[in-house]
């Protein structure tokens, strides 16, 4: 197993990590500035009670349904750890978040990959083999694909009808703020559904490392046993709580701007022979000629633009994941792409599956 180490050499325009390129939530910045003179020698809350309350207020759920972590990746890690003794399988769709399979193995699970196209046609495949966990990411990373609401609802219903022997359905909604759909309230009352969120994307708090999960209170309590105390730093909790309680509309406005920029960028890429997949997120996934993703990323980095290459992604082939942001940054990207294309060594590829 290799450690997670994407190419992070310095560039002028970094479009590789799907953060909010409009910046940090202003309410979070103001709250942190007001807190830095406070006594930081004290430990933070054991279980981030202020943050749990803010999540509960924002989404209309019981605070006991909320649990928190050091980013949603930390939440996913301890959820995997919490679910029964080591052993059993974790069924997940591919392509998806790259850390799912490694965390499954680290926590004693066997990851079983199911292609998106097959699962959409036969959702029952997700429940085959008596898995301990089923992981879904919608909107999906890295493709940007949003699964149909009724399709997800059908899987939830199928899991719940299996009773106590059913797997836990883990729904990763890291990018759900870029849509108008969420299953948070359903998770707060369901015996087998758990939703995970992050404040790294739409809220602009990637550097604070804050994530949370929502489940029925008794399920959430089990998750916190595996979580352990002091996972959210004090300043991180202050920032996240302020952002969640803010009603200025800043987050919503940047989501709208991201959608506009995404549509405009998709058209501009298409005019250059790069046809990105449909996306419901703050990024685009653009297939390129097989075997060329790393060369594309290197060519763009030489022009001081960073994107995330995906060589041989399942059901897609080689592709580039590109974070969308304010249009001046996108213009810099397009100039770099034009430079790569002008070299005559690389070109785009046809559209793929998901």
The predicted pLDDT at position 260 comes to: 98
| Pairing status of strand 317-323 against strand 308-313 | antiparallel
3-class DSSP assignment, residue 189: coil
Q: Give the Å distances, CA to CA, from 289 to 6, 176, 285, 346.
A: 21, 30, 13, 8
The predicted pLDDT at position 183 comes to: 99
| Pairing status of strand 168-172 against strand 133-137 | parallel
The predicted pLDDT at position 38 comes to: 67
The predicted pLDDT at position 315 comes to: 94
**Which residue, chain included where needed, has tokens 């969420």?**
182
Q: Do 130 and 88 contact (CB within 8 A), yes or no? A: yes
The predicted pLDDT at position 34 comes to: 87
What is the DSSP-derived secondary structure letter of residue 130? -
The predicted pLDDT at position 354 comes to: 45
The predicted pLDDT at position 112 comes to: 97
Regions of the chain with pLDDT less than 50: 351-354
What are the CB-based long-range contacts (under 8 Å, 24+) for 59-63?
A: 59/182, 59/184, 59/185, 59/214, 60/185, 61/184, 61/185, 61/188, 61/214, 62/188, 62/217
In the chain, what are the domains? 13-22+250-342 (3.90.1150.10), 26-245 (3.40.640.10)
The predicted pLDDT at position 165 comes to: 83
Cα separation, 350 vs 288, in Å, equals 7
CA nearest to 113, candidates 93, 89, 135, 98: 93
């Amino acid at each position: 197993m290799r450690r997670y180490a994407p190419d992070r050499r310095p560039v002028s325009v970094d479009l590789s990590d799907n953060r909010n390129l409009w910046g940090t939530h202003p309410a979070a910045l103001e709250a942190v500035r007001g807190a830095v003179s406070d006594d930081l020698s004290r430990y933070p809350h054991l279980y981030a009670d202020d943050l749990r309350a803010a999540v509960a207020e924002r989404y209309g759920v019981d605070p006991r349904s909320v649990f928190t972590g050091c980013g949603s990746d930390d939440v996913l890690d301890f959820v995997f750890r919490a679910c029964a003794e080591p052993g059993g399988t974790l069924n997940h769709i591919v392509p998806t978040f790259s850390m799912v399979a490694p965390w499954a193995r680290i926590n004693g699970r066997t990851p079983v990959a199911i292609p998106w196209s097959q699962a959409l046609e036969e959702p029952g495949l997700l429940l085959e083999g008596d898995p301990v966990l089923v992981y879904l990411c919608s909107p999906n990373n890295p493709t940007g694909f949003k699964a149909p609401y009724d399709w997800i609802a059908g899987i939830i219903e199928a899991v719940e009808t299996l009773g106590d022997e059913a797997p836990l359905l883990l729904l990763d909604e890291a990018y759900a703020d870029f849509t108008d759909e969420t299953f948070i309230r359903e998770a707060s009352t369901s015996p087998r559904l758990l939703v995970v969120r992050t404040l790294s994307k739409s809220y602009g708090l990637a550097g604070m490392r804050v994530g949370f999960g929502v489940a029925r209170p008794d399920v959430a309590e089990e998750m916190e046993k595996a979580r352990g105390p002091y996972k959210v730093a004090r300043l991180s909790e202050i920032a996240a709580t302020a952002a969640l309680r803010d009603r200025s509309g800043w987050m919503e406005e940047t989501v709208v701007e991201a959608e506009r920029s995404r549509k405009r960028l998709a058209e501009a890429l298409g005019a250059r022979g790069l046809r990105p997949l449909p996306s419901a997120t703050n990024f685009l996934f653009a297939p390129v000629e097989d075997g060329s993703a790393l060369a594309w990323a290197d060519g763009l980095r030489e022009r001081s633009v960073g994107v995330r290459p995906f060589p041989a992604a399942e059901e897609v082939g080689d592709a580039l994941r590109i974070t969308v942001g304010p249009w001046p940054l996108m213009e810099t990207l397009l100039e770099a792409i034009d430079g790569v294309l002008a070299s005559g060594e690389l070109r785009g590829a046809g559209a793929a599956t998901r």
